[in-house]
Amino acid sequence: MSINTPQQYKEALRQLDLLTNSTAAADKENSATITQLTTAIETYEERLHLTLLPTLPTTLVDMIELKRQQLRLKQKDLAQLLEVPAGRLSQILNGKRRITLDLAKKLYERLGISPEFILKKA
């Protein structure tokens, strides 16, 4: 038995609920069906969970962009939050300028980017 769609998943949960709540749950045939349904449901949930996991940024620029999106800020608003000129932030995000120690400190304090990540990726 394999579950590949949300509809199949819902149906399997419904069937499992019916089988476990029925008085015939002790029957060997129902027991085997319950085991098959449980395995299929667990496999589907694991597969679904793995596909829904967000991929973490691997660069500091990507992390800054992720934080900007999470805070729903425009780039100019992010520049104001970090107290840097918008043009300089644009250069940093385009890889044309390096991050200063002062900006690294603000990334940690205001965006919550870990110091270890900043040091490793800067």
- Per residue in 44-82, pLDDT tens? 888 877 666 567 899 999 999 999 999 999 999 999 999
Q: SS3 of 79, please? A: helix
Q: From residue 94, how far is each of 4, 64, 90, 97 by CA, in Å?
A: 41, 12, 6, 8
Residue-level pLDDT at 25 = 47
CA atoms of 28 and 77, how far apart (whole Å): 64
CA atoms of 81 and 90, how far apart (whole Å): 14
**Cβ contact 40:2 at 8 Å:** yes
In a shared domain, residues 66 and 109: yes
| Residue 30 or 6, more confident | 6
In a shared domain, residues 48 and 11: yes
Residue 27 lies in a domain: yes
Number of domains forming the structure of the chain: 2
Residue 1 lies in a domain: no
Full residue range of the structural domain in which residue 25 is found: 6-52
